[in-house]
Amino acid sequence: MESHVSEKVDLPFKPLPPEVLEEYSGRLREALGLKRVIDEEGRVVDEGLMPKLPPSEMREIYEYMVRARVIDSWLLKLQRMGRVALHAPNKGQEATAVGTAKPMKPQDWLFPSYRELGAYLVRGMSEEEILDRALNTIDDPLKGSDFAIYGNRKYNIVPAPVPVGNQIPLATGAAMAAKILGHDTVVVAMFGDGASSRGDFHAGLNFAGVFKAPVVFVLQNNQWAISVPVKRQTAAPSFAIKALAYGIPGVRVDGNDVLAVYSVVSEALERARRGEGPTLVEAVTYRLGPHTTADDPGRYRSEEEVKIAERYEPLKRFRKFLDSQGILTEKEALQMEEEWNARVEDIVKRVLEKPGLPKDVFFHNVYERRPWHLEEEYEEFKESLKVAEELGLELEE
């Protein structure tokens, strides 16, 4: 009798071949190590990983980090003045945001989270636009939809979700679409350590691995998901190691070393562009501020820890490097910060003068065309404003 079993059928009841073991041993080292170009004192520790950038571009990278720091502090100030509903401080994470966005191409898409001001600036969003958004002026590009998030199709920045991590599968899907359409587009998703616990993280990375999607996942491990420390998020020794189970490489990098982030993300973007699939980058950083302006970190973490984390702070460290290389002196760096502060102060003054969004703004952008019931509600809404006026009621404080 002729056998129907093809020679090609190879059932896996045996250990995987040694080359798989070898490949994964290498990947394991990348996922458990820590890539760095400069140390806390700005000294070069890995010449091989140093990105090939001219001094002018190094300087530009620093300037983006300064701008991120400056606008962050203004948003904090405006929140305290009661002008901004809520702000999620970025302080301490500027290197990851800038180092991730800088090597991206304009056609690449970014799916950010809510602590990536540096990335928006790199992709062309201005301080004025950030302020229009935060203050919900007439020019708010997201038209008063939600707080603490930014985005604009103009720069291929998809508005971030407030529910943590739900952008991850979207990034994979956009990358799959780019691949199907044959576009030279890589998608970058940025999220935090907390997001790695979500089902979305699993689905997003799993699909990306299976379909070799051109996507780079940048997990900003800032040690805290509000009050929950990393050890409560995972029992694994690193987040990068999670990538291995999805069949994709995971790289652990010092997220406060902008040069290292730049280098690692560049490599991941190139891999994706070559059609070699996704990468998970774990950027080890530290959230120096509260989770948001509504948080009180004194309840759950020590000041001592924050003080120690300050030593790893990304701006100071890069400044020391630039100074030692004769690219930018400490004095010039300080001057740069002062200039941006003055510039942003002027922008703040101007933006504060702008009118707010029209009262009926929320009736727009629900559908392409409003269904009848929403039209009826819109009419009722307009009548209710008249009733309020007749009664002399101040509906908004």
Partner 1 sequence: MPRVNMVQALNMALREEMRRDPRVVVLGEDVGRRGGVFLVTEGLIDEFGEERVIDTPLTEMGIVGVAIGMAMYGLRPVAEIQFIDFIYEAFDQIVNNAAWMRFRSGGMYKIPLVIRGPCCGGIRGGMHHSQSNEAYFMHTPGLYVVMPSRPYDAKGLLKESIRVDDAVIFLEPKSVYRTIREEVPEDDYTVPLGKARIVREGDDVTLVTWGAMVYVAEQAAKIAEEKHGWSVEIIDLRTLLPWDRNAVISSLEKTGRLVIVHEARLFAGPGAEISAYIAENYIDLLRGPIKRVASYDTPFPLVHEKLYMPNVARVYKALMEVMQW
The residues assigned a catalytic role are: 287, 291, 300
User: Which stretch, 5-13, 158-166, 253-261, 344-352, contacts partner 1 (CB under 8 A)?
Assistant: 158-166
| Closer CB to partner 1, 197 or 341, in the complex | 197
Using CA atoms, how far apart are residues 234 and 242, in angstroms rounded to an integer?
A: 10
* Secondary element (H or E) of residue 331: helix 330-352
363 lies in the binding site for partner 1 (CB under 8 A) = yes
Q: How many CA atoms, within 13 angstroms, populate the side-chain half-sphere of residue 120?
A: 28
Residue 82 neighbours by CB under 8 Å, 6+ apart: none
Closest contact distance (angstroms) between CB of 205 and partner 1 is 15
x/- binding map, residues 41-80, to partner 1, per CB under 8 A? ----------------------------------------
| Count of residues near partner 1 by CB under 8 A | 53
Residue 205 makes contact with partner 1 by CB under 8 A: no
DSSP string for residues in 218-249: EEEE-SEETTEEGGGT-SSS-STTHHHHTTS-
In the complex with partner 1, the residue whose CB is nearer, 128 or 146, is 146
| Binder among 194, 249, 255, 290 for partner 1 (CB under 8 A) | 194
Asked if 237 touches partner 1 (CB under 8 A), the answer is no
Closest approach, Cβ 135 to partner 1, in A, equals 10
Token reading at 390: 């007749």
Binding mask 339-358 for partner 1 (x = CB under 8 A): -----------------xx-
Question: What residues contact 31, with CB distance under 8 A and at least 6 apart?
Answer: 238, 240, 241, 243, 244, 249, 250, 251, 252, 282
Which residue in 344, 289, 281 sits closest to 313, CA to CA?
A: 289
Q: Which residues of 54-91 are buried (b: 16+ CB within 10 A; e: fewer)?
A: eeeebbebbbbbbbbbbbbbbbbebbeeebbeebbbbb
Cα–chain-centroid distance for residue 340? Answer: 22
| Residue of 180, 228, 308, 334 interacting with partner 1 (CB under 8 A) | 228
Give 251's DSSP letter.
Answer: E
Interface with partner 1 includes 294 (CB under 8 A)?
yes
User: Is residue 20 near partner 1 by the rule CB under 8 A?
Assistant: no
Can you tell me which of 164, 205, 258, 288 binds partner 1, judged by CB under 8 A?
A: 164
Q: Which of 252, 256, 193 is nearest to 224 (CA)?
A: 193
Q: Is 89 in the site for partner 1 (CB under 8 A)?
A: no
Based on the shown chain and the rule CB under 8 A, indicate whether residue 138 belongs to the binding site for partner 1.
no
Q: In angstroms, what CA-CA distances link 139 with 158, 355, 390?
A: 18, 9, 31
Tell me the closest approach of the beta carbon of residue 125 to partner 1, in angstroms: 19
What is the chain's alpha carbon radius of gyration, rounded to the nearest angstrom? Answer: 24
Spatial contact of 122 and 63, defined as CB atoms under 8 Å apart: no
341: amino acid identity, one letter? N
Q: Is residue 232 close enough to count as binding partner 1 by CB under 8 A?
A: yes
User: Which lies closer to partner 1 via its Cβ, residue 99 or residue 289?
Assistant: 289
The piece of 27-35, 38-46, 67-75, 196-204 that touches partner 1 (CB under 8 A) is 196-204
Rounded Cα distance between 76 and 87, Å, is: 6
Q: What is the dihedral of CA 39, 308, 64, 298, to 10 degrees?
A: 160
Chosen residue from 85, 170, 177, 210 binding partner 1 by CB under 8 A: 85
Nearer to partner 1, 40 or 295 (CB): 295
- Contact between 167 and partner 1 by CB under 8 A: the answer reads no
Q: Which residues bind partner 1 (CB under 8 A)?
A: 85-86, 136, 144-147, 161-166, 194-195, 197-200, 225-228, 232-234, 294-295, 299-300, 356-357, 359, 361-363, 366, 373-374, 377-378, 380-381, 383-385, 387-388, 391, 393, 395-397
